[in-house]
A and B are shown apart, each in its own frame.
Chain A
Amino acid sequence: MSTGDRPGDSSRRAAGELESAVLAVLHAAGVPLSPGTVRERLGGGLAYTTVVTILSRLHAKGVLDRARMGRAYLYAPVADEPGLAARRMATVLAAEPDRAAVLARFVSGLSASDEQLLRRMLGADVPGQD
């Protein structure tokens, strides 16, 4: 995965905003688009390579599908009904102060010491640290 390839929160946030903008363009288009067309529709004078980077990153994340068309790829959003519904649910629930308490997560967060303790308890049953 190419996330976190640029240090610093602001550039990461900027990258996130660009990803959403690119996704919005592709959703609005309704047909697969080439990086060049995406760049035109985005406006803002982005470099071609930046657009290609964002598209391939979204593809790596499984958000976009791509198909080769001549020398370039055409990109389209993955038809992902459950994913969209889950994201919509997350957005709607984000407005609720008690959201976390109503969703029963299988596992909650692990502290570093919890992680070591778990590995000790389960021994060879769990994959080791890479």
Chain B
Amino acid sequence: MPLAIFLPLAVPLCVTVGARPVAARLPPQAATWLLTVAAVALAALSTAVLMLLAGAAAIRIPLVATLGHMSLQVVRRDDPASLSVSVGGTALLAVATAAAGRAGWRRVRALVTAARQARCLPGSEQVVVVPDGTADAYAVPGWPGRIVVTAGMLDALNPDERRVLLAHEGAHATGHHYLFTAVTHFAAAANPLLRPVAATVTYTVERWADETAARDCGDRRLAARAVGKAALASADRPAPARRRHVVALGIAGPFLRHGATRLGRALGLGGPGPVPRRVAALLAPPPRIRPLLVAAVAVVVLISSVAALDAAIGLHALVELAQARVFPSRS
């Protein structure tokens, strides 16, 4: 157990390093689901292992041992996890729980606020056009989700490209893509090693919407051009106006996302930003599902599960042994 118990804590690193290559090679819908499920499973397993360590620390407390009818002597003698490891695990558990709780609360509150605002947007149409000269477009999550497009963005695109834009944002709004980013963000708060996975899912939901738009409009090159032209149009606005716009909308997000990209570069996964990668993916044929890649991620999750299960069985055996010493007649 001593080494195996650390596996679920460290194994997420494999998925972290592999997330971007997986995202680049799988169809984005599959990649989004795979990475989200893997992130949740790995975060749950690493939290479970921390809970086991906290449990191992708890039964060393004389009062807990007495209440659990355990022999303190046996616990101290036979616990394979040392006291310092157990106490460290307990501290990590406290930090992870607090971080996940905080991240979850923040995201839920932001989503509820956005949904309430989406309801207040004028008209009953899904799309709201804002008479603003700067090129911008975004989906606001909600029930139903809404799409905000500026006149500047509409001006920058021709009618076919506008259809791509609306199909893309419509895919976000009706597909509830924000749930995937919210869930992986929550998992990454519980185990910070998963942060690059959360950043990758933010990218794969964009790709997912791109692929949906390309399919709806029946023209991948058109979709690529729409994304590229929109990005150039929003980059074209004069710097002061752009900065004011960013401040006005209170959007610090692009900077945070760049932070995630920087982290990716630190991991040796550097390269172009998300927009050129999306355009390149649209100019290439649609990616096909690769069972081997999916299996590789599944194996990583499986290794983590087995290690966590092993640790749980180990702790259970210890408790049984310690109880047997108190009530020898039972065994």
A58-110 residues at the B interface, CB under 8 angstroms: 61-62, 78, 80-83, 85-110
Q: Is the CB of B169 within 8 A of A89?
A: no
Number of interface residues of B (CB under 8 A): 73
- Cβ-neighbour of A118 out of B117, B239, B275 (below 8 A): B275
Whether B248 pairs with A87 at a CB distance below 8 angstroms is yes
Please give the distance in Å from B129's CB to the nearest CB on chain A.
6
Instruction: List B contacts of A93 (CB < 8 A).
Output: 110, 113-114, 117, 249-250
Q: Is the CB of A122 within 8 A of B120?
A: no
B163 nearest CB across to chain A (Å): 13
Contact partner of A102 (CB less than 8 A), chosen from B107, B241, B283, is B107
Q: Which of B147-192 contact A (CB under 8 A)?
A: 148, 153, 165, 168-169, 172, 177-178, 181-182, 185
Known: A93-B114, A93-B250. A106 touches B241 (CB 8 A): no
* B235 and A109 contact, CB distance less than 8 A: yes
Is residue B328 contacting chain A, with contact meaning CB distance below 8 A? Answer: no
- Given the complex of chains A and B, what is the CA–CA distance between A81 and B122 in angstroms? 7
Chain A residues near B153 (CB-CB < 8 A): 106
The answer to whether B121 touches A82, judged by C-beta atoms less than 8 angstroms apart, is yes
Q: How far is the CA of A2 from the CA of B64 in the complex (A)?
A: 73
Chain A residues contacting B202 (CB-CB under 8 Å) are: 101
Knowing A61-B133, A89-B121, A105-B138 are in contact, say whether A117-B276 is a contact too (CB < 8 A): yes
- Complex: A98 Cα to B106 Cα, angstroms: 6
A and B contact pairs by CB, cutoff 8 A, 7 listed:
A101-B178, A104-B209, A105-B254, A106-B153, A106-B168, A121-B224, A125-B228
